Amino acid sequence: MRTDLVVVGAGAAGLLAAVAARRLGHEVLVVESSGQVGGSTATNDGSLWLPANDLTGHGGIPADTADSALRYLNGLAAPESDVIAARRVAFVRTAAAVGRWLSTSKIALEVVKSLPDCRPDADGAASQGRTLRPRPAPPKLDPEWVGTLRGDDSVKANPGLLSRLTSPFRDPGELTGGAALAAELLRRALASGVEVWLDAPMTELVVEGGSVTGVRVRRADESVQVDATTGVMLACGGFEADPLRRTENLPAPTSTVWSVGVGADGAALTAGEQVGAAVCGLDQAWWTPVLLADGVAHRVDLARVAPHGMIVDQAGDRYLNEAQPPGPAGRRMYEHNRGMRSVPSFLIMDSRHRKTYPLGPWAPGTSPKAAIESGDLVRAARLDELAQAMGIDLAGLIGSVVAFNQLAKRGKDSDFGRGDSAWDRHFGDPLLRRNPCLGSVAKQPYWAVRVYPGDAGTKGGLVIDDRSRVLREDGSAVPGLWACSASAASLFGSFQPGHGAGLGAAVVEAYRGVLDLSGQLDQVDRALA
Ligand X SMILES: Cc1cc2nc3c(=O)[nH]c(=O)nc-3n(C[C@H](O)[C@H](O)[C@H](O)COP(=O)(O)OP(=O)(O)OC[C@H]3O[C@@H](n4cnc5c(N)ncnc54)[C@H](O)[C@@H]3O)c2cc1C
Residues 6+ apart with CB under 8 A from 13: 39, 41, 235, 484, 485, 506, 507, 509, 510
Give me the DSSP letters along 86-103: HHHHHHHHHHHHHHHHHH
Interface residue with ligand X, options 236, 347, 481, 515 (CB under 6 A): 236
Interface residue with ligand X, options 10, 277, 297, 347 (CB under 6 A): 10
Q: What is the DSSP letter of 175?
A: B
Interface residue with ligand X, options 328, 428, 502, 513 (CB under 6 A): 502
Q: Is 500 in the site for ligand X (CB under 6 A)?
A: yes
Q: How far is the CB of 152 from ligand X (least distance, A)?
A: 7
Measure the CA–CA gap between 456 and 168, rounded to whole angstroms.
17
Alpha helices in 316-368 (DSSP H): 326-337, 351-356
Q: CB count, 10 Å around CB of 430?
A: 12
Q: How far is the CB of 179 from ligand X (least distance, A)?
A: 12
Q: How far is the CB of 189 from ligand X (least distance, A)?
A: 13
Interface residue with ligand X, options 160, 201, 436, 480 (CB under 6 A): 201
Residues of span 477-496 touching ligand X by CB under 6 A: 485-486
- Residue number with CB closer to ligand X (43 or 284): 43
Residues of span 17-56 touching ligand X by CB under 6 A: 31-34, 39-41, 43-45, 47
Q: Is 330 in the site for ligand X (CB under 6 A)?
A: no
Interface residue with ligand X, options 89, 235, 278, 392 (CB under 6 A): 235
Q: Is 186 in the site for ligand X (CB under 6 A)?
A: no
Q: Is 305 in the site for ligand X (CB under 6 A)?
A: no
Q: Is 13 in the site for ligand X (CB under 6 A)?
A: yes
Residues of span 55-114 touching ligand X by CB under 6 A: none
Backbone φ and ψ for 3, nearest 5 degrees, come out as: -145, 180
Angle at 151 between CA 302 and CA 142, to 5 degrees: 145
Q: Which amino acid, residue 135? A: R
Cis omega before residue 445 (within 30°)? yes
Q: Is 264 in the site for ligand X (CB under 6 A)?
A: yes
- Residue number with CB closer to ligand X (73 or 378): 73
Q: How far is the CB of 329 from ligand X (least distance, A)?
A: 14
Q: Is 8 in the site for ligand X (CB under 6 A)?
A: yes
Q: Report which secondary-structure segment, H or E, holds 184.
A: helix 177-191
Measure the CA–CA gap between 451 and 297, rounded to whole angstroms.
10
Handedness of CA 24, 26, 32, 37 (dihedral sign): positive
In terms of DSSP bridges, do strands 2-8 and 222-234 run parallel, antiparallel, or are they unpaired?
A: parallel
Q: How far is the CB of 132 from ligand X (least distance, A)?
A: 11
Q: How far is the CB of 505 from ligand X (least distance, A)?
A: 7
Measure the CA–CA gap between 150 and 158, rounded to whole angstroms.
17
Q: Which amino acid, residue 182? A: A
Q: Is 499 in the site for ligand X (CB under 6 A)?
A: yes
Handedness of CA 79, 334, 39, 242 (dihedral sign): positive
Q: Is 497 in the site for ligand X (CB under 6 A)?
A: no
Cis omega before residue 253 (within 30°)? yes
Binding mask 406-445 for ligand X (x = CB under 6 A): ----------------------------------------
Binding mask 438-477 for ligand X (x = CB under 6 A): ------------------xx--------------------
- Residue number with CB closer to ligand X (14 or 361): 14
Interface residue with ligand X, options 489, 503, 517, 521 (CB under 6 A): 503
**Per-residue b or e along 45-72, where b marks 16 or more CB atoms closer than 10 Å to that residue's CB:** bbbbbbbbbebbeeeebeebbbebbbbb
Q: How far is the CB of 351 from ligand X (least distance, A)?
A: 28
Measure the CA–CA gap between 208 and 342, rounded to whole angstroms.
50
Cis omega before residue 361 (within 30°)? no
- Residue number with CB closer to ligand X (9 or 344): 9
Which residues in this chain contact ligand X in the complex, by CB under 6 A?
8-14, 31-34, 39-41, 43-45, 47, 201-202, 235-237, 260-262, 264, 267, 286, 456-457, 485-486, 499-504, 506
